[in-house]
Amino acid sequence: MNTLLDGILASQVISNVPAAILLAPFTKYHQSILLGVNIGGLGTLIASLANLIGYKIVRIQIPNDCKLFTRNFYLINIIYLTLLTIVISFIV
């Protein structure tokens, strides 16, 4: 469970792929890291490179709606991050 949460938290700060690479040598629970960094791709814009790419596209294509996109992005992603973390904590 700690490895799963570490993967989720590290993904929020340094993105999910670097978090997986950083955490992998320090544990034998690789499945928990995999789940953690995949769930951790939700949350902040930094959590996944795909989030940043999507944000950049919105900034270029519809710059007037950037604040609306950011607000909705965080609202939806935090809800899903919380729900998936709770659900997976019961499974693991």
Predicted confidence (pLDDT) per residue in 6-46, tens digit:
999 999 999 999 999 999 999 999 999 999 999 999 999 99
Is the pLDDT score of 92 beyond 80?
no
Q: Is 33 exposed, middle or buried (0-12, 13-18, 19+ CB in 10 A)?
A: buried
Name the domain count of the chain. 1
Q: Which tokens in the block code for residue 34? A: 């995999």
State the alpha helices, DSSP H only, in 1-92.
2-14, 16-23, 30-39, 49-61, 66-91
For 70, other C-beta atoms within 10 Å of its C-beta total 14
Please state, for a pLDDT cut of 70, what percent of the chain lies above it. Answer: 100
pTM: 0.87
Give CA–CA dist 55/11, Å, rounded: 17
Average pLDDT, the chain: 93
Q: Which domain holds residue 84?
A: 2-91
The residue type found at 36 is G
